[in-house]
Structure 1
């Protein structure tokens, strides 16, 4: 990171802010009118949320600031797709329940009991 230019640091800061907003909205770490939280978030949620945003920003900056080849851009698209899918798999309760209701029946072995969604 010593060789990073201003462009790298700007990308890192912008990506960290966007990551924090996107990942903090659904679990209501950032209060908003769209989602509600019935139980208060544990104290450790906030430091983990901020650390994840900062590390994600640094990672995204390594991909976004250097746009040199088509192969690199394809790798970048795969990384972004993976990040979005991991957010939906872990961060979004609605997406998780949708995912389990649509894909869990296919993953079950024949004759086994159905999976609980809660």
Structure 2
């Protein structure tokens, strides 16, 4: 509260509610898929130029490469139920966020 004119909000997901500041959503590919947000760290400078439609992470390519080497795909916590189905089959927002029934799980099924 009180930071809406000082801090921007970036996410690869959706958000709801009132947003009085700069909000950038649906960044893809998503962090969970190894997208750019997976490599962002506290203190990184991110430049947002709304008029030019520009979003730039000010971190060297060497540093990003180093971060990516230590990054690993997050484990999916749900083993059964509807959320497990969604986590296995849902596509990224840039691909419609729909269920893709052609995705094969680790067992080849």
TM-score by length of 2: 0.25
The structure with more strand, counted as a fraction of residues: 2
Q: Tell me the TM-score normalized by structure 1.
A: 0.24
**Relative contact order (alpha carbons < 8 A, sep ≥ 6): 1 or 2 greater?**
1
Higher share in helix:
1
Bigger CA radius of gyration: 1
